[in-house]
């Protein structure tokens, strides 16, 4: 009997690569996207790999859409063995300048969207006494990289939810894993270029954030690497809760863990030259602008 897997946000990047990778491993994959018009590349990649992926129209920001989408999967497949909560959006702003509406929008997708999906599949996992829930967080779920307040707030919240969930479902034989990619080849970066800077006081902060991605995107890890980590997380004999991966992921998570909170705060007060030197020293990645 094939493992039945659902991957949300499968129209591009990590979701698409993960859906195809799981199908290659013999999974019966249901790949969700907001509209079928966006399924072309997914279906082409699956065909090229010699596998089948089933598109499912679903908007994780909508209660009704999630109930209908996952209800349809459960009716068709009879169960869901693996849920990969990948769908998400970015969000740039410092706290002072971020409209509450933007926090609400990002949280509704990145956190509440995952919870909606979990609540739909968890009852049948619990009744069977097996299943895996994989939540795609981010490097910024562990390291609050400057000027992305709505994004890292949502990812830290996802990390907390996932950590609590893992204990909640452990008695039922259900595995929870958090994947923390660094910079990965994905369409999210092309969509995430706004910087409010409404006060003009935070030029340095936005500049450092964009410089991080300017340095990282040319070295971005293939999305397929994250798909492989997802598969590892659901099949490992000795599972872990967290898996950092992709460019900057391991190094920055490890670097932040080795810093005191006071050193982290002090980093923000440095001038640009000192900031980039200290960043490289602490995190092992060079993001300084080319001289």
Q: Is 151 annotated as catalytic?
A: yes
DSSP 89-154: ----B-GGG--HHHHHHHHIIIIIHHHHHHHHHHHHHHHHT-EEEEEE--GGGTS--TTBHHHHHH
10 neighbors 86 (Cβ within 8 angstroms): yes
What gap in Å lies between CA 197 and CA 199, rounded to an integer? 6
* Letter string b/e over residues 83-108, b meaning 16 or more CB atoms within 10 A of that residue's CB: bbbbbbbbbbbbeebbeeebbebbbb
Residue 195: partners with Cβ closer than 8 Å, 6 or more residues away: 92, 93, 147, 206, 209, 210
Q: Which of 151, 152, 206, 275 is catalytic?
A: 151
Contact between residue 18 and residue 227 where contact means Cβ atoms under 8 Å apart: yes
> Edge to edge, what strands does the sheet with 131-136 contain?
53-57, 28-33, 4-7, 82-85, 131-136, 174-181, 242-245
Pairing verdict, β 4-7 and 53-57? unpaired
- The beta strands (E) that lie in the chain are given as 4-7, 28-33, 53-57, 82-85, 131-136, 174-181, 242-245
**Measured CA distances, 56 to 33, 47, 209 (Å):** 6, 17, 35
Residues annotated as catalytic are 151
């Amino acid at each position: 009997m094939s493992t039945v897997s659902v991957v949300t946000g499968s129209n591009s990047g990590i979701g698409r690569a993960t859906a195809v990778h799981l199908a290659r491993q013999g999974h019966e994959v249901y790949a969700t996207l907001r509209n079928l018009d966006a399924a072309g590349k997914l279906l082409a990649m699956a065909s090229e790999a010699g596998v089948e992926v089933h598109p499912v129209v679903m908007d994780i920001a909508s209660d009704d859409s999630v109930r209908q989408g996952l209800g349809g999967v459960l009716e068709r497949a009879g169960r869901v063995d693996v849920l990969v909560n990948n769908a998400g959006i970015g969000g740039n702003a410092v706290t002072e300048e971020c409209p509450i509406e933007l926090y609400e929008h990002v949280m509704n997708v990145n956190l509440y969207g995952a919870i909606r999906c979990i609540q739909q599949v968890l009852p049948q996992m619990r009744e069977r006494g097996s299943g895996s829930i994989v939540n795609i967080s981010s490097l910024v779920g562990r390291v609050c990289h400057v000027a992305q307040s709505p994004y890292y707030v949502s990812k830290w919240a996802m990390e907390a939810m996932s950590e609590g969930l893992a204990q909640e479902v452990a008695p039922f034989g259900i595995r929870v894993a958090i994947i923390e990619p660094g910079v990965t080849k994905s369409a999210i970066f092309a969509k995430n270029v706004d910087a409010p800077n409404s006060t003009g006081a935070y030029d340095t902060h936005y500049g450092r954030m964009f410089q991080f991605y300017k340095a990282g995107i040319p070295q971005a890890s293939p999305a397929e690497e994250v798909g492989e980590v997802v598969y590892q997380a659901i099949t490992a004999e000795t599972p872990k809760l967290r898996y950092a991966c992709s460019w900057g992921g391991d190094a920055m998570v490890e670097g932040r863990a080795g810093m005191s909170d006071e050193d982290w705060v002090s980093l923000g007060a440095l001038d640009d030259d000192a900031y980039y030197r200290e960043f490289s020293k602490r995190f092992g990645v060079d993001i300084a602008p080319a001289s």
